[in-house]
Amino acid sequence: MNFLQENNKHIKVIKNWRNQLNEKSVTDIQEKLDLNEKLNADPFRDFSDLEMLQWYLFRKTNINSQNEKSKKTINEYKKEISLFIEHLLTFSTEINIDINFIIESSLFKSLSPRHIRRYQEWLVTRSPHVMTKGNYSAATITRKTNIIKSFLKFLLESNYIQQPLHTGFLEATVHNDDRPNKDLDAEEVKQLLDYFRNRQHPIVFALIHVFTTTGLRNEELCKLTVGDLKYDASLKGFYLVVTGKGNKKRQIPLKEKTLNSIKMFRYARGLKEIDQSIKSDPLFTTNTSKAYKTSYLSNYLTREIKKSQLHERNISCHHFRHAFAIISHKSGVDLYDISRSLGHEKLETTMIYLSKIFERENHAIHGWDSKIFGEYI
């Protein structure tokens, strides 16, 4: 039976993978690995593609669970790798997956670097997304490439596959000009705050105010509970204990007006006052008193801002995180302190936020001497 004849069978199997991909089976996989080690056998002998993907996604790599990948990261990897596999099978003819047989019932063992190269070319030029919605952004292609390449490298390093499939990918580099413009300056934020205050919309006003003055990520705000709001007696002010990427915690002081916005938000939602609430209650809720989901909050805020017609582009929660960086920089805050406040692991990430600002501020024109070019500068 050739590859195309086997295709339908594998498509049905793999399309059921997403429901089976969870961390519950990791214990069974670990026991299987331990047995192979005891028998002095290859660790991943008799493993299936599904088991390899399961192990890659959910295996423990750090004794401290707080340093493991977040659920959001795992779900993103699961989504991209599953989609990659479905694409290979569903569009095998268009991609030109020219293999005759599935080796040991494994798609990964049957592939060669040329198939990965053809897949990447198809994804960028002829995939359904490109044909119906237009080209992927450079950042999206880079993200997809890096996730799949990481998984393929893992398969090779585990000796599950023998061919370096990841070498089939061409480099996907994101330049500053390729990145979507998410800059918001102080005047633009104040314009939005004025708009929603004048229209007596305390919910959107508070969300914009809190995002801007804290630099919170969308998912960080969604996870906040009443118990995360604490009082510092020495500073005589409140602060938030925030759980960020990699379950790393940081403390964010609140300006008095930001705290007032939080109280105003909760009053508008009909929630109990903070000192009367259960500590496990969400700090911010929907109109049904449930904690926000990240996608819901992002769509809600973007939609409400779009109604204002103050911006032609869509403004998301993340734009206000950029605003925090820009306003901090314009206020003379040290770059390292901005980076640490945002919860960035690398200073380079913060510099990306400020790259357009730096480019304008450090332009050579600012160093021109009026004595040389006279009245024309």
Q: Are residues 329 and 206 in the same domain?
A: yes
Each residue of 212-256: pLDDT tens digit? 999 999 999 999 999 999 999 888 899 999 998 878 899 999 999
Q: Are residues 174 and 279 in the same domain?
A: no
pLDDT under 50 in the chain at which residues? 1, 178
Q: Are residues 200 and 167 in the same domain?
A: no
Amino acid at 87: H
CA 213 vs. chain centroid, Å, equals: 21
Residue 374 in 3-state DSSP?
helix
Q: Are residues 141 and 252 in the same domain?
A: no
Q: How many CA atoms lie within 13 A of 53 on its CB side?
A: 26
Q: Determine, yes or no, domain membership for 373.
A: no
Residues 81, 53: Cα–Cα separation, whole Å: 9
Q: Are residues 31 and 169 in the same domain?
A: yes
Q: Are residues 173 and 264 in the same domain?
A: no
Q: Determine, yes or no, domain membership for 79.
A: yes
pLDDT at 99: 86
Q: How many domains does the chain have?
A: 2
Q: Are residues 57 and 125 in the same domain?
A: yes
pLDDT at 1: 47
Each residue of 339-368: pLDDT tens digit? 999 999 888 888 888 888 888 888 888 888
Q: Are residues 173 and 205 in the same domain?
A: no
Q: Determine, yes or no, domain membership for 272.
A: yes
Task: Supply the CATH number for residue 191's domain.
Answer: 1.10.443.10
Token duo for residue 327: 């306003």
- End-to-end CA separation in angstroms for the chain: 76
Q: Are residues 71 and 193 in the same domain?
A: no
Q: Determine, yes or no, domain membership for 144.
A: yes
Q: Show the DSSP H helices in the chain as ranges.
A: 3-15, 17-20, 26-38, 49-58, 71-90, 92-95, 107-110, 113-125, 128-133, 138-157, 186-198, 202-214, 218-223, 256-268, 294-308, 317-330, 335-342, 347-353, 355-361, 370-373
pLDDT at 374: 77
Q: Which residues contact 57 (CB under 8 A, 6 or more apart)?
A: 21, 23, 74, 77, 78
Q: Determine, yes or no, domain membership for 173.
A: yes
Q: Are residues 27 and 164 in the same domain?
A: yes
Domain limits for position 124: 3-178
pTM exceeding 0.75: no
Q: Are residues 9 and 37 in the same domain?
A: yes
DSSP-derived pairing of the beta strands 249-253 and 237-243 = antiparallel
Q: Are residues 94 and 12 in the same domain?
A: yes
Closest by Cα among 355, 358, 327 to 341: 327
Q: Determine, yes or no, domain membership for 27.
A: yes
